[in-house]
Amino acid sequence: MKQKRKDPLPQKIVVIVWKDIISRADWVGTISEIKEEMEPIPCVSVGWIVEKTKEKITIADSFTEDHNFGGVTSIPVEVVEEFYELNSKS
């Protein structure tokens, strides 16, 4: 009989697709060149939900047995394009 895996955390695992800013400090060129080059960058983050509010989603990509978190990222809700919950019980 296959034994069910016990999740070390009750939090859900999620995938978040979001847009990040782009910035350059060097000379870029004309306005038309800037418009072509300066588009927000698509990003994908995966982790356990630490906190979810109206303003932000905070996730951690690592944790220990005693529930210490690492690799923590807080993403403003306004830049989230897609949000998926993964089945962490399988």
What single letter denotes the amino acid at residue 58? Answer: T
Query: What are the two backbone dihedrals, phi and then psi, of residue 31, each rounded to the nearest 5 degrees?
Result: -60, -40
The single-letter DSSP state of residue 27 is -
- The pLDDT, as a whole number, for residue 63 is 83
> Cα(11)–Cα(33) distance, rounded to whole angstroms?
44
d(CA 7, CA 19): 30
pTM as predicted:
0.76
Give pLDDT tens digits along the chain (90 positions). Answer: 555 545 556 678 999 999 999 888 888 788 888 888 888 999 999 999 999 999 999 999 998 877 788 999 999 999 999 999 997 554
